[in-house]
Amino acid sequence: GLGFNIVGGTDQPYICNDSSFYVSRIKKDGAAYLDGRLQEGDKILAVNGKDLKDLRHQDAVELFRNTGYDVSLKIQRRLQPQNGPAGHQSDGESGGLPLAAILVPGLALAATAVWILLRYRQRM
C-alpha cells in the first residue's frame, strides 16, 4: 500500500458539508512516511490526475489501491488545526505550546489568587 489512511467522501464526510478526502494517518515505515512529503491532515485533491471530488469513500480507496508504482498526489496543506486528525506541523508553524495553553491556566491561577486575597482581607 501507499502507507497512509484517508477519511472523507460523499457518503462519509469528515468535515461537515465537505466531502473532501484527508490524510488521517501515516503509517510508520510506509511509502508515504519514507517519502516524507505527505502530512497527516493534508487534503488530497487528485490521484494520478484523477479528481477526487464527489467520490464515495470506497471508490476513493479503490482508486488508491489501483495506482501502481508511480503515484502523483495533488494535495492542499492543512493551514491550521481543526477538529480532525492530529498530525505533523505544517511548514511555517512554530513549535512549542500554543499561547492559549499557557495563558488560560495562568489567568485562572491569577484570578484564584486575587479571589483568595480578597476573601482573606474581608476576614480581617
Question: Contact, 116 vs 122, CB < 8 A?
Answer: no
Which stretches of the chain drop beneath a pLDDT of 70?
79-107, 124
Whichever domain contains 13, its CATH number is 2.30.42.10
pTM for the model stands at 0.62
Instruction: Report the length, in residues, of the chain.
Output: 124
In this predicted model, what pLDDT tens digit does every residue of 22-49 receive, in sequence order?
999 999 989 999 999 999 999 999 999 9
Residues 6+ apart with CB under 8 A from 23: 4, 5, 6, 32, 38, 39, 40, 41, 42, 44, 85, 87
Q: What is the pLDDT of residue 91?
A: 44
Range of the domain at 70: 4-76
Does residue 41 fall inside a structural domain? Answer: yes
Does residue 13 fall inside a structural domain? Answer: yes
Q: What is the pLDDT of residue 102?
A: 64
Number of domains, the chain: 1
Cell 506541523 belongs to which residue?
89
